[in-house]
Amino acid sequence: MEWGGHPRGRSIHGVTTARRTLRRSPRRRDRRGRGLRGLMYPASTPASRTRAEKFDAMVLEALEPIELRWGSELADLDLAVDEVPEVEETSPDDVVWGQGVLADVGVPLAQLVPAGVDPEGLPSRARIVIYRRPLEARARDGADLADLLHEVLVEQVAEYLNIEPDAVDGGETP
């Protein structure tokens, strides 16, 4: 039987049929002269990091001064970063954020999850969850994001320690 006027299994000018596929010659690999595809920057350079990796580094940098002062009190606290908060209700009138949520204009920026039991029944440690996308959306630039991250972490650590945010940021020492 013929297909398109040619015997089955035959390829014509780069078109292949179901029975036979052609191997492309190595000379077609760079046919438009753009060079071989690969990483633009070496993996060891800061330019190769993703936005999420850069954000994670900023979170750790914002946490460092707090951890230096309150390290022993924060030994049982974990820190996590999520893209966005989980939302079950989509209507702004129906959404009610639980205790420990730091929100700006109805959008959570971070949440303090107390220690307890996870859904599998295993004990879990207390943790602060930082939501990356809402924080990035509210910052004008990298310096503004760093300041916002520091403020959010101060608020969450203060809630965890049950003290005033001013005490966490520089007032009283433990």
Q: What is the pLDDT of residues 143-157, one digit of tens each?
A: 999 999 999 999 999
Q: Which domains does the chain have, with CATH numbers?
A: 51-85+99-169 (3.30.2010.20)
Rounded Cα gap, residues 91 and 28, in angstroms: 53
Q: What is the pLDDT of residue 171?
A: 58
Cβ–Cβ under 8 Å, residues 128 and 112: yes
Res 130: pLDDT: 94
Question: What pLDDT is recorded for position 106?
Answer: 76
What pLDDT does residue 55 have? 92
Which residues fall within 8 angstroms of residue 58, CB to CB, at 6 or more apart?
142, 145, 146, 149
pLDDT of residue 154: 95
pLDDT lower than 50: segments of the chain: 1-18, 20-21, 173
Q: How far apart are CA 96 and CA 106, in angstroms?
A: 9
